[in-house]
Amino acid sequence: MTFRATPEPPSRHRPRWRHELVAWWSRRQDHAPPGSSPSPAADAHSAHAAGAPETTASETTAPEATTLWRMRTTVRDEPGALAALCAALAGHRVDILALQTHPLADGTVDEFLLRAPEALASAELTDAVAAAGGSDTWVERADTHDLVDAPTRALTLATRTALDAAELPLALRQLFGRCTIRSVPAKSFSGRSPESTPPAEGVLEETVMRLRDPSGGAIVIERPYLPFTPTEFARARALVELDARLGPRIPHDGDVLTLPEGNAITVRRADSGDLAAARDMHARCSPATLALRYHGPVGDADRYLAHLLSPRFGRTLAAYTASGRLVALGHLLWDGDEAEVALIVEDEWQRRGVGGQLLRRLVAMAAETGYESVYAVTQSANTGMVTAMRSLELPLDYQIEQGTLVISARLDPAPAPAPVPPLPHSR
């Protein structure tokens, strides 16, 4: 189906919200389903008023460990449906930390951030939701990074996108969590259009979104098993439209490095504005250097440059001499859940440490954007690339087939999230 705009949720959703949220918040105060006894805190207050001895902090039971979950489920669009679901969660001592709703034509998709007792398994959680009327339920572990509310997350991603055009695919990936982002060029290297360009308003088809890329071609977002909602489609369109209005942009600040032999080079981000300099560098490279980089006919090398320098497909670093001559390029290319790194260094500047400098910066970029590994595809005879990957001092995996070598580096894991606060025994 095609969505031209995401309409405001029908007014009939709003009364249900007002009544159910009032009831929901009142129940949260004691974490008990309707009709149960007052909360332990209320009992303690009554007992104190009656003159009963107070319980000291040392006599209370230690708080139980908890786990954070992200859950999405579909509920019927009728009064009391959300209230029944919240009551079922409260019955299992599950705390609702955040809630988003995605109105549909025949129901509502509710997305929760939950804090549950560690002993509560995901299957039990799903069964409780199903018994309360939820369907098509999806559950996965969350961490403290998910505690950021939806508006703050959206504004943060919009800011990143505004500063750097290369951030758009990454922002979309973080917006939807586990999904695959593909940027499809308007024309393939053969000159043919690989996929039909979606209309300006985009296309939503269950688990696939197709949006028109402002730089040409399309952006395809896919995730298995979990259909996108019109609300999510509208969020994706908003980020893409922001990118279109701002036009091409990348940070151009660079670092001046002094090589061991004393020469100074400037390393900075590159884009399509560096295309002419990149072609000149290709003309100075030997056929052997081009063949090691592009694994194909040398004459095709220049045809890849426009694709490689586009910020939509990744990030590119360029090394310039003090005289303004481009001598090396390093690429970090988005590839689903992985990222590919690639280097080309002009013959006269090889074995001077330029490639290693670029590679270390590319790997740091990959780690900052949340990738857990990077890989390089080269030939087994490319000792320079093998040496550069080893210099990272990261765990490496090697796969070789018919002379093609794939080297994968596992990046340092992100800092462990802060421990989840325990679930209190009383409120």
Per-residue pLDDT of the chain (427 residues; tens, 9 = 90+): 433 333 444 433 434 433 443 344 344 444 434 334 444 444 444 444 445 455 554 455 567 788 898 888 988 888 888 899 999 999 999 999 888 888 887 788 888 889 999 889 989 999 999 999 988 888 888 877 777 777 888 888 889 888 888 888 888 888 887 788 888 877 654 555 555 678 878 888 888 999 988 877 888 988 887 888 898 899 999 999 998 888 887 777 778 888 887 788 999 999 888 999 999 999 999 988 888 888 766 666 667 788 888 887 889 999 999 899 999 999 999 887 788 999 999 999 998 889 999 999 999 988 888 788 899 998 887 888 888 898 888 899 999 887 788 999 998 654 443 444 444 443 3
Nearest to 301 by CA among 322, 285, 317: 285
pLDDT, residue 267, reads 93
Q: Give the 3-state secondary structure of residue 12.
A: coil
Nearest to 211 by CA among 227, 225, 232: 232
Q: What is the DSSP string of 153-195?
A: HHHHHHHHHHH-TTHHHHHHHHHHSS-EEEEEPSS-TTS--SS
pLDDT, residue 370, reads 78
Start-to-end CA span in the chain (Å): 47
346 Cβ partners below 8 Å, 6+ apart?
281, 284, 285, 289, 327, 328
- List the beta strands (DSSP E) in 8-104: 66-75, 95-103
What is the number of residues in the chain? 427
pLDDT, residue 193, reads 52
CATH number assigned to the domain with residue range 16-31+65-147, chosen from the 4 options 3.30.70.260, 1.10.3720.10, 3.40.50.740, 3.40.50.1370: 3.30.70.260
What's the gap between Cα 171 and its chain centre? 6
Residue indicated by tokens 């991603």 = 157
- Distance from C-alpha of 144 to C-alpha of 227, rounded to nearest angstrom: 25
Q: What is the pTM of this model?
A: 0.62
* Delimiting residues of CATH 3.40.630.30 domain(s) in the chain: 254-410
| Buried-exposed string 14-47: b where 16+ CB fall within 10 A, e elsewhere | eebeeebeebbeebeebbbbeeeeeebeeeeeee
The answer to whether residues 420 and 95 touch, using CB atoms and an 8 Å cutoff, is no
pLDDT, residue 341, reads 93
Alpha helices in 369-403, H assignment, sequence order:
383-390
**What is the 3-state composition of the chain as percent helix, strand, coil, each rounded to the nearest 5?**
35, 25, 35
- Distance from C-alpha of 400 to C-alpha of 226, rounded to nearest angstrom: 36
- Distance from C-alpha of 295 to C-alpha of 342, rounded to nearest angstrom: 12
CATH superfamily of 254-410: Gcn5-related N-acetyltransferase (GNAT) (3.40.630.30)
* Delimiting residues of CATH 3.30.70.260 domain(s) in the chain: 16-31+65-147
Nearest to 114 by CA among 131, 138, 84, 133: 138
pLDDT, residue 223, reads 85
The count of other CB atoms within 10 Å of the CB of residue 292 is 18
Residue indicated by tokens 């590919």 = 340
The answer to whether residues 363 and 357 touch, using CB atoms and an 8 Å cutoff, is no
